[in-house]
Amino acid sequence: MTKPTGRPRGRPRKAPKPASAQSATPKRPPHRARKLLRDKPERFWLAFLQAALERTKGRISERALLITFAALRHGRPLMTRENLAAMRRGEPYLVAMDEAASRAQPHLSNSKRHKNAFHPPADDTARALRKLRDADPADPDRRWLACMVRSWIICLSGDRDEEWLARELAACAGEITHYETVMQPVLRRDIRATLFLDELLGQLEPPKK
């Protein structure tokens, strides 16, 4: 048994820092403002995919469509004789995750998440779209998406009677240049679908690591 010392029981408290030391402590940086969707390069891709989902609702599942477009964006055709022959005949052909994209962005082909290499990017896209759809109606990102999706639906339908509305909707979103270079030619059927998708994919910057 230890002898009593006369000091209060428990751990001794640390002496308070002097005022000069407290003022020298660096402050936490202020909260960084959220980056809006209209400032992100993937916004055009998300708007097109949401429009495609709405046009095919009830005919094809959301997951199947997003996996298909993930393969289009991140995949490369398998260079086999049979596969190349199928491509030349205009038949379905096989694609695999692009090795260069996979090395630069390992999350695209994370085998721990899914066996199919295109499932992770498809799931990431589904999550991003769900977050935008569930946002408050006054949220600027949701308003931007709503305008661009409705404009895309008109363009994909080819309805020339509503061309003025498609243009107005894109203008409301601040995307008139994108409308004139990518969307309007689709509405007027001036280019083939493959050329349009090349144009759309070309406007996407690779995500940062």
Q: What is the pLDDT of residues 28-52, one digit of tens each?
A: 666 677 889 999 989 999 999 999 9
Q: Angle at Cα 187 formed by Cα 181 and Cα 188, nearest 5°?
A: 90
Name the pTM for this structure: 0.68
Give the pLDDT mean for 176-192: 88
Cα distances (Å, whole numbers) of residue 183 to 64, 72, 195:
24, 19, 12
Domain assignments of the chain as residue spans, ordered by start: 39-134, 137-203
What's the angle, vertex CA 47, arms to CA 163 and CA 206, rounded to 5? 130
Average of pLDDT values for 152-180?
95
Q: Read off the pLDDT of each residue in 63-86 and give the average, rounded to a whole number.
A: 80
b (16+ CB within 10 A) / e for 140-178: ebbbbbbbbbbbbbbbbeeeeebeeebbebbebbebeeb
Instruction: Look at residue 67 and tell me whether its pLDDT is greater than 60.
Output: yes
SS3 assignment, position 143? helix
Tell me the average pLDDT across 120-133.
94
- At 19, the pLDDT band (50, 70, 90 cuts) reads low
**Given this model, what pLDDT does residue 118 score?**
83
Averaged confidence pLDDT in the chain = 79
Scored b (16 or more CB within 10 A) or e, 28-39 reads eeeeeeeeebee
| Lowest-confidence pick of 26-40, 55-69, 81-95 | 81-95
Q: Tell me how far the alpha carbon of residue 135 is from its chain's centroid.
A: 15
Q: Would you say residue 170 has pLDDT above 80?
A: yes
